Each structure stands twice: as C-alpha cells, then as structure tokens.
Amino acid sequence: MCSRPEPPEPLRRVAVVGGTHGNEMSGVCLARYWLRAPGELQRPSFSAVPVLANPAATAACRRYVDCDLNRAFTSAFLTARAHPDDPYEVTRARELNQLLGPKASGQAFDFVLDLHNTTASMGTCLVAESSHDVFAMHLCHHLQLQSPELPCRVFLYQLPGEESYSVHSVAKSGLGLELGPQPQGVLRADLLARMRALVAAALDFIQLFNQGPGGRDGLRHQASHTGTAFPAFEMEAYRKVSSVDFPRTETGDLAGTVHPQLQDRDFEPLRPGAPIFQMFGGKDVLYEGESTVYPVFINEAAYYEKGIAFFQTEKLTFSVPALPGLAPAPSPAP
C-alpha cells in the first residue's frame, strides 16, 4: 500500500465494511445496523460510510456465492471487460471498486476498515498488507494501546511480489479487523462488542489525525520533542511466510486434523519436532521445519477448501517512522 502523500491531508472519505464474507457475523450485523443508524460512525471532521460488501452471500449466510470476494480485487479482475457469465463476486468487486476506488487512483477512498471473523483462536488481530503503510501502522499502534490487557496482534499477509487482492486494498490505506474464535453463522455478544469498540477507536484515531495539533487533550499521544504528534515507534508483527495443508488421502480427503497441542495456539511459537497433525489412525505428524515459526489461522473453516490448515509466520520487530501530522487548522471541517 502506498504511503500517504505529502503534505498530509485530513482523511475525509472513510468506509467501514462488513459482510465481505456473508457468514462472518460481527461485521454483517454491525454493517446492517449502521446502514439503519449511522450516527455512531460520525466524527466532527468526517463521517465513515457503512458498506455491506457481499449482500447475496450475506442473505444466504454463506462465505460467498461464486468465489471469495476478498480475493477479487486484483487488477486482472477489476479491469477485465464485464461479461454476463462473470461470477457474482467479480461483478460486485467492480461495483465496490467504483464506490471505494478506483484502486490505485487519486479518487480512491482514504481509508477502508474491513470487518472479519475467524473460527481460529486469534483473539483480536489487525490485518495489514505490509509494514509500508505508515498510517495503518500508526492506527494499529493506537488500537493496541487502547486495550493493553487484551493482546492485539498485527498480521502482515502480503507475500513478496504478490499483488494485493483484498477489499481494503482498493483504498489509499486500509486495515482488516479479524476477531475469533467465532463459528461461521454465529453471533457472539463479546466479539460483537469488541468489534464495535475497535471500530470506534479507529475512527477516533482518524479524527485525532484530522484535528491536527490543536486538540489532543486527554488523549494518549504525546508530542515528541520535535513536535510530532505521531512519533516513530517500534512495532512487533507477524509476517506470513507460507501455508501448511492438512494431511490428505490420495482422493484429497482429510487424513487427519490439527493436533490437540497445536489447536488454539495461534501466535504461539511452534518449534521443530512439535506435533502439528493427528492422523485418524492415531499417529502424530511433526513440524519438520528448521526454525521456530508462529502459526496463525489454525483450523479456520473457510481455509479447508483452500488447502490451508494454518499459516506459518515469522515474528519481527521493525521501526515505524513518525507520521507527519497535519498543519494546525482553525476549526474542524463542517
């Protein structure tokens, strides 16, 4: 994702997207609610637009109708000529690209927040393409500071050389919120409340950024000695390295499942020799990599058909540069 243009502008066009996957209920319910009552999404300097990304899948309470919407935002899909036989989600991606994009253009939305759930025990996870989006990294940092008692991890999912494909890649900057564990089609009050609070905190951060140096009283960010509102910091994140499939029979059926010692251990170190799968006949399959990795999305229901039992990530720490704040403004925009 490109870094913010210089000089920085306030973020005016912000969207909060739910129902990109129609059976991930926190986002579905919040998007439906905000479409009826958007007041909560308003801030003095902007109003975030709620979007129900995949209405047909949401109505059927399925992940997708024809294909995964959150993989459909590549230039190949977006720029190809429309055809009546196109998959539903490809047509929908083009509509969303017109609404929130066009991707990689000056008219694209400033920021898109995309709400997801997972059946994996990932707690609160912030999903970004890479560390290059400085604004998104500062937002993650802000969200992490909001609830220090609750682990809130950053997952970087873009592989080297890979084109971006997600809903939020359409905008100039964006972030996915991934909360779990929650079964598909099930709505849990605790995750719903947490998702709602995270969205509120994210919009508060954008408001904070938009306000410029005038109005930071009572909020956590301290101006550094150089006068920057959003100083540089060190961020810890988990970067995707590869995926590991389930053990399968010759016909492609499962031959075993995630080992009890790996189940629910998202973000915990997986060391060479540790068990990862348990075959139906009872045998253990061990992790045979050379180095410690950090598995995420362990036993996510939607990934069985993608041939993914879990992702291997590396844990890294990197510097995030200061985020240039806005010049002081006389008053918030109407």
Partner 1 sequence: MTYHVVEDPIKKVAIFGGTHGNELTGVFLVKHWLENGAEIQRTGLEVKPFITNPRAVKKCTRYIDCDLNRVFDPGNLGKRMSEDLPYEVRRAQEINHLFGPKDSEDSYDIIFDLHNTTSNMGCTLILEDSRNDFLIQMFHYIKTSLAPLPCYIYLIEHPSLKYATTRSIAKYPVGIEVGPQPQGVLRADILDQMRKMIKYALDFIHNFNEGKEFPPCAIEVYKIMEKVDYPRNENGEIAAIIHPNLQTGNHCALRILCF
CA 221 to chain centroid, in Å, comes to 23
Instruction: Pick from 115, 259, 313, 325 the residue near partner 1 by CB under 8 A.
Output: 259
Count the Cβ atoms, other than its own, within 10 Å of residue 331.
Answer: 8
181 lies in the site for partner 1, by CB under 8 A: yes
257 lies in the site for partner 1, by CB under 8 A: yes
278 lies in the site for partner 1, by CB under 8 A: yes
Of residues 110 and 300, the one with the C-beta less far from partner 1: 300
Of residues 44 and 183, the one with the C-beta less far from partner 1: 183
95 is catalytic: no
Of residues 40 and 314, the one with the C-beta less far from partner 1: 40
Count the Cβ atoms, other than its own, within 10 Å of residue 235.
Answer: 17
187 lies in the site for partner 1, by CB under 8 A: yes
2 lies in the site for partner 1, by CB under 8 A: no
53 lies in the site for partner 1, by CB under 8 A: no
Counting residues that bind partner 1 (by CB under 8 A) gives: 32
Of residues 65 and 219, the one with the C-beta less far from partner 1: 65
**Are residues 212 and 7 in contact, defined by beta-carbon separation less than 8 angstroms?**
no
Residue range at the interface with partner 1 (CB under 8 A); choices 43-51, 222-230, 275-283, 325-333: 275-283
190 lies in the site for partner 1, by CB under 8 A: yes
Instruction: Pick from 6, 217, 250, 253 the residue near partner 1 by CB under 8 A.
Output: 253
Closest-CA residue to 130 (of 259, 307, 2) = 2
Instruction: With residue 34 as reference, give the H or E element that holds it.
Output: helix 25-36
Give the annotated binding-site residues.
21, 24, 116
Considering only residues 214 to 233 of the shown chain, the ones binding partner 1 according to CB under 8 A are none
Give the annotated binding-site residues for Zn(2+).
21, 24, 116
What residue type is assigned to position 165 of the chain? Y
Q: Give the E-state strand segments of 231-274 in sequence order.
A: 233-244, 256-258
Measure the CA–CA gap between 16 and 81, rounded to whole angstroms.
28
What residue type is assigned to position 306 of the chain? K
Of residues 129 and 300, the one with the C-beta less far from partner 1: 300
254 lies in the site for partner 1, by CB under 8 A: yes
Count the Cβ atoms, other than its own, within 10 Å of residue 6.
Answer: 7
Buried (b) or exposed (e) across 264-296, using 16+ Cβ within 10 A? ebbbeebeeebbbbbeeeeeeeebebeeebbbb
What residue type is assigned to position 46 of the chain? F
Instruction: Pick from 7, 160, 227, 281 the residue near partner 1 by CB under 8 A.
Output: 281
Residue range at the interface with partner 1 (CB under 8 A); choices 8-16, 28-36, 103-111, 149-157: 28-36
Closest-CA residue to 27 (of 142, 204, 184) = 184
Handedness of CA 67, 73, 75, 78 (dihedral sign): positive
Of the residues 6, 40, 89, 178, which is catalytic?
A: 178
Measure the CA–CA gap between 287 and 295, rounded to whole angstroms.
11
Note the residues at the interface with partner 1 (CB under 8 A): 29, 32-33, 119, 181-190, 192-193, 253-254, 257-260, 263, 278, 280-281, 299-302, 304-305
